[in-house]
Amino acid sequence: MWKIRSVLISAPAIILATIVMGSISLACSLRDKTGVSQHRVAQMWARMLLACGFLRCRPTGLEKLDPSRSYVLVSNHASYMDTPAIMGTVPLEFRFFAKKGLFSIPFLGWHLRHAGHLPVVRDDPRASIRSMTEGAKLIRERGVSVLLFPEGGRSEVQIRPFKEGAAYMAIKAGVPVVPIGLVGTRSALPMHSGIIRPTAVELIVGDPIETSGMTLHDRGRLTLELQTRIAAMIGETVMPEEPA
């Protein structure tokens, strides 16, 4: 009965919260072109979504993050609830990469565009490099952090092999890259499901990896290090590479 009640409450509440907070974010963008106010609105929206879905997020390792520094945050990606879990828990101002199609969704897309988040086009290497270069420029010029899910999509069972964009951007910007492991979001909102299940979610922040002294030739090694660390943090194995 509790689970049925939570489902009936969470879906309309999440839709309402998205409409309301998206409208507030749009209003903030009229006077704040930096994205700071929109980020604060997004943090409140994320916490609302976690509360509406009856998700309890337990963070560990947040003390490893220095609010005065910029980072490239890298996380595994198992659910649409990953972004709210990170947004509502990690005490940094950051922007993130989202599928280009999300920018056309009313309210959500308006917020993404006006808050300064970056669109990413899958299966287009040139467009991806342009996006990563733009992200590195954003970090250097604005002093904010950036969040990426380097698997390139959600995983159903195992971690997908990481793409090199996060390592490329961290090295290009000269900032540390931080591995983040999420456990429980896949159970909260599995792929191909629209039902959020009350779940305890763990958010584990690993030790930042400094990129000073690295060159772009090191991006493959750094990507593998991130993939290995996150897999160990969440207790999953990495899916084998698909043959070319």
Cα–Cα distance between 179 and 196 in angstroms, integer? 25
- Would you tell me the crossing angle of helices 165-173 and 219-234 to the nearest 10 degrees? 120
> What are the helix (H) ranges across the chain?
2-29, 36-52, 82-87, 108-115, 125-142, 165-173, 185-188, 219-234
Question: In whole numbers, what is the pLDDT of the chain averaged over residues?
Answer: 84
Between residues 145 and 99, the one the model is more confident about: 145
208-226 residue pLDDT tens: 999 999 999 999 999 999 9
Contacts of 211 (CB under 8 A, 6+ apart): 170, 171, 174, 175, 176, 177, 222
Between residues 52 and 200, the one the model is more confident about: 200
pLDDT-based confidence at 142, cuts 50/70/90?
confident
Share of the chain above pLDDT 70, in %: 88
CB-count exposure of residue 235 (10 Å: 0-12, 13-18, 19+): exposed
8-21 residue pLDDT tens: 346 677 777 777 77
In CATH terms, the fold of domain 2-234 is Glycerol-3-phosphate (1)-acyltransferase (3.40.1130)
Least confident of 58-72, 109-123, 151-165, 203-217: 109-123
- The residue ranges of every structural domain in the chain are 2-234
| Whether 227 contacts 219, CB under 8 Å | no
The single-letter code of the amino acid at 43 is Q
Whether residue 132 has pLDDT greater than 70: yes
Q: The whole model's pTM is what?
A: 0.85
| ∠ Cα 128 184 98 (to 5°) | 20
Whether residue 157 has pLDDT greater than 90: no
Between residues 118 and 202, the one the model is more confident about: 202
36-83 residue pLDDT tens: 788 888 888 889 888 888 889 999 999 999 999 999 999 999 998 999
| Whether 121 contacts 100, CB under 8 Å | yes
| pLDDT attached to residue 207 | 97
Whether residue 3 has pLDDT greater than 50: no
98: closest CA among 114, 87, 109, 84? 109
CA dihedral 168, 171, 176, 181 (to 10 degrees): 20
Cα–Cα distance between 216 and 228 in angstroms, integer? 19
Q: Which helix (H) or strand (E) element contains residue 199?
A: strand 199-205
Cα–Cα distance between 17 and 49 in angstroms, integer? 7
